[in-house]
């Protein structure tokens, strides 16, 4: 239809970036081909060369796009407490956007072998941890950086489990357990003070 053309023209670039994330999540990095991405985006595969040049550059831009979106969606610094509501919301987020989450694990692993992606990977993780540290400090935890790293690792690991091997229900229960560990830690630090 003509409306398709009108709506699509000029939007190939963003369609390719979105398709890149979907393809990597659904088929892995070994399934990331010009033709697979282009087909999902509804454009010709040579449009990738036009907009991004190489496959490496396409992935790099998709990484920047995805990390920006991921950090925005999960604003950890706004976290009040890790309770049932938090656990439910996190499990829900993963269930509603699994591709975005899977893409992050794929790209961070790839960053191990591609120095040009390292910076984004470090920024993504340190950004998450920093946001959590802010929230934990606000709640009375001191020297909270290592704690924030550990708690983020737990949440990250549980998201990974939900995506790969575990039921959402047991993941949610485990997240709530993390929250109770934090409470107990706060109580104990008050008593010993």
Partner DNA sequence: CAGACAACTAAGCAACTGCATAGTTTTATG
Partner DNA sequence: CATAAAACTATGCAGTTGCTTAGTTGTCTG
Interface residue list for DNA (CB under 7 A): 5-6, 8-13, 32-36, 43-47, 49-51, 53-56
**Alpha-carbon gap, residue 72 to 166, rounded angstroms:** 26
Window contacting a copy of itself (CB under 8 A); options: 39-47, 63-71, 88-96, 107-115: 107-115
- For 96-134, b/e burial (b = at least 16 CB within 10 A) is ebebbbbbbbbbbeebeeeeebeebbeebbeebbebbbb
Q: How far is the CB of 181 from a copy of itself (least distance, A)?
A: 5
Q: Where in 64-93 is the site for a copy of itself (CB under 8 A)?
A: none
Determine, following the binding rule CB under 8 A, whether residue 121 of this chain makes contact with a copy of itself: yes
Q: How far is the CB of 12 from DNA (least distance, A)?
A: 2
* DSSP-derived 3-state class of residue 34: helix
Q: How far is the CB of 70 from a copy of itself (least distance, A)?
A: 15
In degrees to the nearest 10, what's the CA dihedral of 49, 53, 56, 61? -100
54 binds, among a copy of itself, DNA, none (CB under 5 to 8 A by kind): DNA
Among 41, 52, 70, 152, binds a copy of itself (CB under 8 A): 152
Q: How far is the CB of 14 from a copy of itself (least distance, A)?
A: 24
33 burial type by CB count under 10 A (0-12 exposed, 13-18 middle, 19+ buried): middle
Structure tokens at 39: 């087909």
**Alpha-carbon gap, residue 24 to 62, rounded angstroms:** 10
Site residues, a copy of itself (CB under 8 A): 26-30, 32, 102, 105-106, 108-113, 118, 121-122, 124-126, 146-147, 149-158, 160-161, 163-166, 170-171, 173-178, 180-182, 184-185, 187-189
């Amino acid at each position: 239809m003509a409306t398709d053309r009108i709506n699509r023209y000029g939007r190939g670039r963003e369609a390719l970036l979105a398709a890149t994330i979907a393809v990597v999540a659904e088929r892995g990095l070994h399934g990331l081909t010009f033709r697979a991405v282009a087909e999902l985006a509804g454009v010709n595969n040579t449009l990738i060369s036009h907009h991004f040049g190489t496959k490496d550059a396409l992935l790099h831009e998709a990484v920047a796009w995805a990390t920006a979106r991921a950090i925005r969606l999960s604003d950890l610094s706004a976290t009040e407490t890790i309770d049932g509501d938090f656990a439910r919301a996190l499990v829900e987020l993963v269930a509603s956007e699994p591709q975005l989450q899977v893409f992050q694990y794929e790209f961070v692993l790839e960053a191990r072998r591609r120095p040009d992606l390292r910076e984004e990977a470090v920024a993504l993780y340190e950004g998450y941890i920093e946001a959590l540290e802010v929230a934990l400090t606000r709640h009375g935890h001191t020297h909270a950086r290592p704690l924030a790293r550990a708690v983020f690792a737990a949440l990250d690991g549980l998201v990974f489990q939900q995506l790969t091997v575990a039921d959402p229900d047991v993941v949610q229960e485990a997240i709530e357990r993390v929250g109770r560990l934090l409470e107990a830690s706060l109580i104990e630090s008050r008593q010993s003070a």
